[in-house]
Amino acid sequence: MQKKQELYAGKAKTVYETDDPNIYLLEFRNDTSAFDGEKVRQLTDKGKVNNLFNAHIMQALEVAGIATHFIKLIDDKTSAVKCLDMIPVECVLRNYAAGGLSKRLGIEEGQVLSPPIFEFFLKDDALHDPMICDSHIMTFGWASEDEVRQMKELTCKVNDVLQPLFAEGGLQLVDFKLEFGRCDGNIVLGDEFTPDGCRIWDAKTQEKFDKDRFRRDLGDVVEHYRLAAERLGLVI
């Protein structure tokens, strides 16, 4: 598979075309950012850890019957993925109160959310990813009513698969965001699942193993990403 032209560079990943029009290369970089790019840093080995972490999770979801864009690892920082027509919304599922939810509603961080809370956000950095609802998505043509339903159902199914997986490693899956796209008429999980896009706490101490370590200057960011991976059975 030949790496060709750069297609898109995000905050922490770069997408490249290949000689196969149906396959992209997804490169995880060491770049780390928070607060809409106001805080930026390079963290050694972050790209490698996130790439391997993502591959592990995507493969676990595939085994559980959830279609993803992941194909295979190419090297430590790169994965081959299917080309998707991405839907410009983020699906956020919250099992515990934290982050934006706690700030918006004054809910104490760590409160169990039963049932879990599902939210949609528009993927738009310039607008700071505003919260939206089903009606916005359908009215503005970002996705159909059936696609909205599928994204909700798939997000909940991902939660059902991953919560016990994380619990086996003594971890709480606090919340996470997912992005979906279209492939051959089907809704498929795209983007990534790494500690950059979810919150992971120690089940007993609530020690953080996610990007909040960077946001809150807690230190040892990549080290904790690596420890979370090891607790899930992945040796990096």
Say what the pTM is.
0.96
Instruction: For residue 216, give the 3-state DSSP assignment.
Output: coil
- The domain over range 3-82 is classified in CATH as 3.30.1230.10: no
Tell me what percent of the residues of the chain surpass a pLDDT of 90: 95
CATH superfamily, with its number, for domain 85-220 = ATP-grasp fold, B domain (3.30.470.20)
* Phi, psi dihedral angles at 81 (to 5 degrees): -135, 160
The domain spans of the chain are 3-82, 85-220
d(CA 95, CA 87): 24
Residues 123, 157 contacting (CB under 8 angstroms): no
User: Alpha helices of 41-132 — where are they, by DSSP H?
Assistant: 46-63, 99-105
Range 116-120, long-range pairs (CB < 8 A, 24+ positions) = 116/156, 116/159, 117/93, 118/91, 118/92, 118/93, 118/94, 118/152, 118/155, 118/156, 119/91, 119/92, 119/93, 119/94, 120/89, 120/90, 120/91, 120/92
One digit per residue, pLDDT tens: the chain, 236 residues?
Answer: 899 999 999 999 999 999 999 999 999 999 998 887 789 999 999 999 999 999 999 999 999 999 999 999 999 999 999 999 999 999 999 999 999 999 999 999 999 999 999 999 999 989 999 999 999 999 999 999 999 999 999 999 999 999 999 999 999 999 999 999 999 999 999 999 999 999 999 999 999 999 999 999 999 999 999 999 999 999 88
